[in-house]
Structure 1
Amino acid sequence: MIKLVERAQKFRNRIAIISDGNSFTYDQLLHDSAHFAQVLLGDGVDLHEQPIGILVNPGYEYVKAQWAVWRAGGTAVPIHPKAPISSIEYIFKDTGLVQIIVQEELLNTVQSLAMGSNVRLVGLNEKAGAPYSLPNVESGRRAMILYTSGTTGNPKGVVTTHSNIEAQVSCLVDFWQWTEEDHIINVLPLHHVHGIINVLSCALWSGAVCEFMPFDAEKVFKRIASKEVNLFMAVPTIYYKLITYWEECDENTKAALSEGLKNMRLMVSGSAALPVSVLEKWKSISGHILLERYGMTEIGMAVSNSYEGDRIPGHIGKPLPNVELKLVDEEGNEVSRGEDGEIWVKGPSVFKEYWKREEATRDAFSEDGWFKTGDIAIVNEGNLKIVGRSSVDIIKSGGYKLSALEIEEVIRKHPSIKDCGVVGIEDEEWGEIVAAALIPNEDDIDLEAFKEWMKGNLSSYKIPRKIKILEDLPRNAMGKVVKKELKKDFKDIS
């Protein structure tokens, strides 16, 4: 039996999900997902890992659908409800979907794609006749395909098995000390490992409550300060928006919100680099140091700061207990202490394959089975610090290897800068030059004064040679800056 489903039997009478103002017990989830699994099976007895699309907004119905796919023996393919039609069409074709579970209000999104094809659109309210019989699903079966864009080419489908998911979830539950008394708010999208694994699946593994809320800074802040919730996980952009909301409140409201946050036992930031300035501001508001961790779609979480011990700003911590990790140079040799290198990972949480991409799967692993993350890190006093992603955050200029993340962290210290993004732009003389997009706090910024300030805070070879003022940075659904898009903003700047 699927371990998540098996564990849910112990918590039947407890609340599992709060969604749209309604509460649902583990018993309801078990009952509803079993019946909906039969809808997906039809006259069959096992989906035999058939990919099943899930185009459903975050909430109880999504969870019911995902568990139903798993219990029917299928492979869940979560699709972002707000994705452009071209992206949804790409997933349709790449996975070869035969069935897709669609929420009624999203039907118009996919009806045109399904017309003239053999794709079955399955409504959430469809019923199956009793009795029902569900297959025995072994842990080695494919469980989920999550699409990750990477930095080049078309998105790839990352395939994880049930045993991969069990390893990812059980490790985090133990390390972050989840219990059935926990109550977490989920404001994250459910086509990404952060929302599905770190929040939803860890909560359900533990017998805890997962409460879904669309992100609204005021409502979310008040909810996590209500003393009914004790966990929160988000991306840096969300923490930034919560800080902005708090700063706009009157003094009495600020004090009440900050007091409420004392009940929180754990707040985590991930999916993008957390600016130290945001971490420090959140600490001053909440009294908590955000726990930074590191992971990706292909490996789940691999590294985490300590739950009980010290957390070092700007660092992601140490490898989790079930993870083997090493830093290597461009030839795959382990680097010496104090040198930066690419993170390579092994362990039971590492994904099975890229869907229908044998060559890409082979290229992603070393000959002896290490997954090559493409992320560059350095060990500082035993803790890992991400320097950047080899393809987008490492700028090779005039013989220097520069970290875009390091330069960004310095620029954010300028009092007139709200945020920034740094990229490398191709240059005939230097190979690449540093370019910075600035998001100012106010409408105007004195660029000449800013350039003088940089001279006192950055080495000359790290100072951006191209600067552009933007209203905002291009971001994906998880709030991560899309540097491929950002580079385009510098094409016309000499």
Structure 2
Amino acid sequence: MLYFQQNARTYGEAIALLSGSKAYSYSTLIGQAENIAGILLENQADLHQSPVAYMVEPGFAYVSAQWGIWLAGGIAVPVALAHPLDSIKYILQDTGAKTFICSASFTSLLSDFCREAGVRLIVWEDKPESRQVSLPEVPIDRGAMILYTSGTTSLPKGVLSTHHGIESQIKSLVEAWKYTTNDHTLCVLPLHHIHGIINVISATLYVGGKVEFLPQFSPEEIFTRFKQGALNVFMAVPTIYFKLIAYLESLTESERKELKTCMQAFRLMISGSAALPVSVMEKWEILSGQRLLERYGMTEIGMAISNPYEGERRAGHVGMPLPNVQVRLVDEENGVVEGQPGEIQIKGPTVFKEYWGKEKATQEAFTEDGWFKTGDVAELADGYYRILGRNSTDIIKSGGYKLSALEIEEVLRTHPSVEDCSVVGLPDEEWGEIVAAVVVLKSDISSDALNTFMRSKMPAYRVPRKYLFLTELPRNAMGKVTKNDLKVLFT
């Protein structure tokens, strides 16, 4: 019996989900999941790792669809609600999924394509009651979920994780972040990424806690939920904290004090999925009384490194290896380094199994001795890892120096006229690459004045040589700036 099935029976009538003004118990959740499994199986005994795509609203429908796919022996393939049809087609064609569960609101988008492609479309609101069927025994080493990478440098790759890998990720987080049955968390994250699926939903339900859903992002609604006093855990990405800070700063002093009192009672607040600017961490601590716990992870590895639940949460750092996760830094020749920056490599049971249908890409992603090559560069000091950036986008090689775009961004953000920024490397015949900055301003300032400021803060070889001003930075669904989109603006 899979872990979530066993746990759901253990917690029985306790509330698992609060969704659409309704409360759903663990018994109701697993019952609906078994119904979905029966619908998927029809006359089969086992889906035998057949991928099943699903595009349903966050909440009861989402979790029971996911669990139902797993109970039937299938591989769950969550699809982003905002995906255009071409992106959905790519996922269905790449996985070979022949079954698609969707909310009724997406039928007009999907029905013609699914009919032409021979894909069985199950509309959540119109699904039949299944007859009682015998569910298959699903080994834990089977494939469980395919999540797609962002595809910033190539077509998105499907990351296949097993049931064992997912449960290993959950157990590691439960141990490190001290989840308990009393946890009540609010899900505001998209559910085609590991942050919302594993950290928010799966780990909370693993221990018998409650997950509450917010259908659409709204700072006002988030703070309304905070004031109700039931929530005690909150996880978000830096851009969400940035927007919450802006909302808090628009309130009166008495309103801010009331909300700070509510937030101080939280057990834990976490930031992840993109680098947390130190300025955002410091502002949030002043306004909320909470020092955010920053961590590091990615689709292929789950969470790997984290600031401590108890102990110093060091600004600008992602912390230490999580339980059962091995971490090392290596140079360009794959030699282990100490006392200098290197690429992060990860090993352990939390690491994914393979890129779906891409044997060569899978082999290239691992060393011969089984370490996953993240492509992220970090340094280690006093036991804490600090991310310097990605090899491909955040490490700028200029005049023989390796420069961290993230470090330069932190300095730029300290200027009072700068609201946000992103630093990229541009090809240059003489220097290899030159530093360029894209800046969102709070108030007018010239590039010359910004340049003077930057030269007073860091060596000249790190200072941007080009500036571009935008009203906002392009970002993906998890709030990461899409730097390749910025580079073309300088050409």
Scaled by the length of structure 1, the TM-score of the pair is 0.98
Alignment of 1:127-142 (within 5 A): 127-142=128-143
Secondary structure of 2:83's aligned partner: coil
Q: Is the 8 A contact 1:169 1:198 kept in 2?
A: yes
1:129, 1:58 → 2: CA distance?
A: 23
Cα deviation 1:85-131 (Å, max 9, x = unaligned): 21111101101110000100011121232132210001114124432
2:298, 2:446 → 1: CA distance?
A: 39
Q: How far apart are 1:305 and its partner, in Å?
A: 0.5
2:274, 2:10 → 1: CA distance?
A: 35
Q: Is the 8 A contact 2:36 2:130 kept in 1?
A: no
Secondary structure of 2:436's aligned partner: strand
1:192, 1:247 → 2: CA distance?
A: 30
Corresponding residue number in structure 1 for 2:312: 310
Identity %, equivalent residues:
51
Cα deviation 1:258-287 (Å, max 9, x = unaligned): 111111010000000000000000000111
Corresponding residue number in structure 2 for 1:408: 409
1:397, 1:112 → 2: CA distance?
A: 51
1:105, 1:467 → 2: CA distance?
A: 43
Corresponding residue number in structure 1 for 2:453: 453
Query: Which sections of structure 1, spanning at least 5 residues, go unmatched?
Result: none
Q: How far apart are 1:150 and its partner, in Å?
A: 4.3
Corresponding residue number in structure 1 for 2:349: 348
Q: Is the 8 A contact 1:235 1:478 kept in 2?
A: yes
Q: Is the 8 A contact 2:474 2:485 kept in 1?
A: yes
1:217, 1:451 → 2: CA distance?
A: 35
Q: How far apart are 1:79 and its partner, in Å?
A: 0.3
Corresponding residue number in structure 1 for 2:116: 116
Alignment of 1:294-333 (within 5 A): 294-333=296-335
1:27, 1:115 → 2: CA distance?
A: 35
Secondary structure of 2:100's aligned partner: strand
Secondary structure of 1:224's aligned partner: helix
Corresponding residue number in structure 2 for 1:81: 81
Q: How far apart are 1:71 and its partner, in Å?
A: 0.4
Report the residue type matching 1:408 in the other structure.
Answer: E
Corresponding residue number in structure 1 for 2:180: 179
Q: CA RMSD in A?
A: 0.9
Choose which of 217, 230, 233 in structure 2 pairs with 1:231: 233
Corresponding residue number in structure 1 for 2:93: 93
Report the residue type matching 1:321 in the other structure.
Answer: P
Corresponding residue number in structure 1 for 2:163: 162
1:25, 1:318 → 2: CA distance?
A: 36
2:87, 2:226 → 1: CA distance?
A: 34
Secondary structure of 1:342's aligned partner: strand
Choose which of 284, 287, 303 in structure 2 pairs with 1:285: 287
Secondary structure of 1:23's aligned partner: strand
Cα deviation 1:2-52 (Å, max 9, x = unaligned): 111211111111110111111100000011110111001111111000000
Cα deviation 1:332-387 (Å, max 9, x = unaligned): 10012x20000011000000000000000000000010000000000021100000
Q: Is the 8 A contact 1:258 1:286 kept in 2?
A: yes
Q: How far apart are 1:226 and its partner, in Å?
A: 3.0
Secondary structure of 1:106's aligned partner: helix
Report the residue type matching 2:278 in the other structure.
Answer: V
Report the residue type matching 1:403 in the other structure.
Answer: S
1:129, 1:284 → 2: CA distance?
A: 53
1:57 aligns with 2:44: no
2:436, 2:446 → 1: CA distance?
A: 17
Secondary structure of 2:445's aligned partner: coil
Report the residue type matching 2:480 in the other structure.
Answer: K
Q: Is the 8 A contact 1:36 1:127 kept in 2?
A: no
Q: Is the 8 A contact 2:237 2:479 kept in 1?
A: yes
Report the residue type matching 1:433 in the other structure.
Answer: I
Report the residue type matching 2:485 in the other structure.
Answer: E
2:299, 2:274 → 1: CA distance?
A: 13
Q: Is the 8 A contact 1:227 1:264 kept in 2?
A: no
1:147 aligns with 2:148: yes
Q: Is the 8 A contact 1:51 1:96 kept in 2?
A: yes
Secondary structure of 2:362's aligned partner: helix
2:447, 2:426 → 1: CA distance?
A: 20
Secondary structure of 2:273's aligned partner: coil
Scaled by the length of structure 2, the TM-score of the pair is 0.98
Q: Is the 8 A contact 1:51 1:75 kept in 2?
A: yes
Corresponding residue number in structure 2 for 1:463: 463
2:223, 2:409 → 1: CA distance?
A: 27
2:236, 2:488 → 1: CA distance?
A: 28
1:397, 1:108 → 2: CA distance?
A: 50
Corresponding residue number in structure 1 for 2:20: 20
1:86, 1:427 → 2: CA distance?
A: 35
2:234, 2:257 → 1: CA distance?
A: 20
Alignment of 1:206-225 (within 5 A): 206-213=207-214, 214-225=216-227
Q: How far apart are 1:161 and its partner, in Å?
A: 0.3
1:44, 1:115 → 2: CA distance?
A: 22
1:364, 1:310 → 2: CA distance?
A: 33
Q: Is the 8 A contact 2:175 2:323 kept in 1?
A: no
1:270, 1:197 → 2: CA distance?
A: 13
Cα deviation 1:169-198 (Å, max 9, x = unaligned): 011011111111110000000000000000
Corresponding residue number in structure 2 for 1:44: 44
Report the residue type matching 1:130 in the other structure.
Answer: R
Secondary structure of 1:489's aligned partner: helix
Corresponding residue number in structure 2 for 1:275: 277
Corresponding residue number in structure 1 for 2:71: 71
Report the residue type matching 2:328 in the other structure.
Answer: K
